[in-house]
Amino acid sequence: MENYKITLLKGDGIGPEIVNQAVKVLDKAAEKFNFTVEYDEALLGGCAIDATGVPLPEETVAKCKASDSVILGAVGGPKWDNQPGNNRPEAGLLGIRGALGLFANLRPSVIFGPLKSASPIKDEIIGDNMDIMIVRELTGGIYFGERGRDDSSAWDTEKYSVAEVERIARVAFDMAMKRNKKLTSVDKANVLESSRLWRQTVINVSKDYPEVELNHMYVDNCAMQLVRNPKQFDVIVTSNIFGDILSDEASMIAGSIGMLASASLSGGKLGLYEPIHGSAPDIAGKGIANPLATILSVAMMLRYSLAQPEAAEAIEAAVAKVLETSRTPDIYEEGLTKVSCEEMGDLVCAQL
């Protein structure tokens, strides 16, 4: 029987609530598919600042490195807005990604049939089975480049190396090979020198994947095309900041940002799994948060880090079934049953 060590970074706001439900579902999956899970908790974000003075304690990094995988809730909130930039909760998030070498962020935008009516996009535009995988470079670009500020100006530097682009491009091409063999690389090569390097490097990597249809798109056009004709996309690969923006847009096409999972991967099996939404401090403690993005992140963890694809598929199927009758307030429709965060976790477990 396989045993997995999982580090929990519950974080701030609704983080603890949604992670608790994800753990409940993971435990049920372990029982059903004959593996065991050990948990260890660590601090990240605002809660870490309150306890230790820094958003990413060394102990947290050590615990994560010693685990098979990491589940993260969400970090941040107005409480810590007065912190300097390098000591804000979000700095802890960037720090853990860098410390664990998590350079590839997978953000699927999948529309569940019962949620089609929740999408702001017309049915005929979405189609019956929209399924887009955004592959975002996670440890380079403007978020990690040189930055500074003086009395009259501020600057952030967008910088990429050939090696950084090559490794994220290979992740995207490998993903495309397992799907529909179609890859869109998104850049701003008509303006940015870093994007010209990006495009040329992706083209060079494409020579090793002759079966994959590669096309290039400027980021502003991609933002438009996602709402005009999302069915044209299968796998999208792009830089850190472009991927951050486009994946949030894609999440709303799918019906709710509360539904979108993500995986951050290194070159090995270790990964960090989290919902793409924030800590939502305005609803923290009210029991109305949607835990499904975190539960679906657990499914991604089972697939990409723990080699338990059947368990992953079972969780995804359970979520789809529960959505037919029950919703948290953010995705509620009249005539269905409105449930709390905890009740949603219980329903997914029962369906499993």
Residue 121, pLDDT score: 81
Beta-strand pair 271-275/69-74 = parallel
Residues 126 and 240 in one domain: yes
For residue range 266-306, what is the model confidence (pLDDT) as tens digits?
A: 988 899 999 988 999 999 999 999 999 999 999 999 999 99
The packing angle between helices 15-33 and 341-351, to 10°, is 10
**Total count of domains within the chain:** 2
Query: Is 128 an active-site residue?
Result: no
Residue 189, pLDDT score: 98
Q: Which position has the token pair 């049920």?
A: 28
CATH number at residue 235: 3.40.718.10
Provide the 8-state DSSP code for 160: -
Among 221, 253, 285, the domain boundary falls at 253
Residue 275, pLDDT score: 93
Q: Is residue 215 part of a domain?
A: yes
Q: pLDDT confidence of 136, banded at 50, 70, 90? A: very high
Q: What are phi and psi of 156, to 5 degrees?
A: -135, 135
Q: Is residue 311 part of a domain?
A: yes
Catalytic residue selected from 12, 187, 234, 244:
244
Cα–Cα distance between 49 and 53 in angstroms, integer?
A: 4
Among 220, 253, 286, the domain boundary falls at 253
Q: Is residue 13 part of a domain?
A: yes
Mean pLDDT for the stretch of residues 32-50:
97
Torsion of CA 293, 298, 301, 302, to 10 degrees: -130
Catalytic residue selected from 131, 156, 248, 346:
248
Residues 196 and 301 in one domain: no
Q: pLDDT confidence of 169, banded at 50, 70, 90? A: very high
Query: Is 220 an active-site residue?
Result: yes
Q: pLDDT confidence of 126, banded at 50, 70, 90? A: confident
Catalytic residue selected from 24, 28, 143, 209:
143
Cα–Cα distance between 271 and 301 in angstroms, integer?
A: 7
Domain region containing 287: 1-110+257-352
**All residues at 6 or more sequence positions from 122 whose CB lies less than 8 Å from its CB, including other chains:** none
Mean residue pLDDT of the chain comes to: 94
Residue 311, pLDDT score: 98
Q: Which two tokens stand for residue 298?
A: 């657990």
Cα–Cα distance between 306 and 69 in angstroms, integer?
A: 8
Residues 14 and 87 in one domain: yes
Q: pLDDT confidence of 86, banded at 50, 70, 90? A: confident
Q: Which two tokens stand for residue 236?
A: 């999208």
Residues 8 and 96 in one domain: yes
Query: Is 79 an active-site residue?
Result: no
Query: Is 218 an active-site residue?
Result: no
Cα–Cα distance between 330 and 157 in angstroms, integer?
A: 37
Q: Is residue 115 part of a domain?
A: no
The answer on pLDDT for 118 being more than 90 is: no
Catalytic residue selected from 4, 24, 188, 234:
188
Residues 141 and 248 in one domain: yes
Residues 15 and 130 in one domain: no
Catalytic residue selected from 65, 220, 231, 269:
220
Residue 251, pLDDT score: 79
Residue 132, SS3 per DSSP: strand
CA angle 234, 169, 231 (to 5 degrees): 10
Pair 259, 293: CB distance under 8 Å: yes
The answer on pLDDT for 337 being more than 80 is: yes
Residues 207 and 304 in one domain: no
Residues 340 and 242 in one domain: no
Burial of 268 (0-12, 13-18, 19+ CB in 10 A): exposed
Provide the 8-state DSSP code for 287: T
The answer on pLDDT for 85 being more than 90 is: no
Residues 171 and 218 in one domain: yes
Query: Is 174 an active-site residue?
Result: no
CA distances from 27 to 22, 254, 311 (A): 9, 27, 11
Q: Which of 250, 243, 208 is nearest to 227 (CA)?
A: 250
Residues 247 and 266 in one domain: no
Mean pLDDT for the stretch of residues 184-189:
98
Amino acid sitting at position 136: R
Cα–Cα distance between 218 and 198 in angstroms, integer?
A: 12
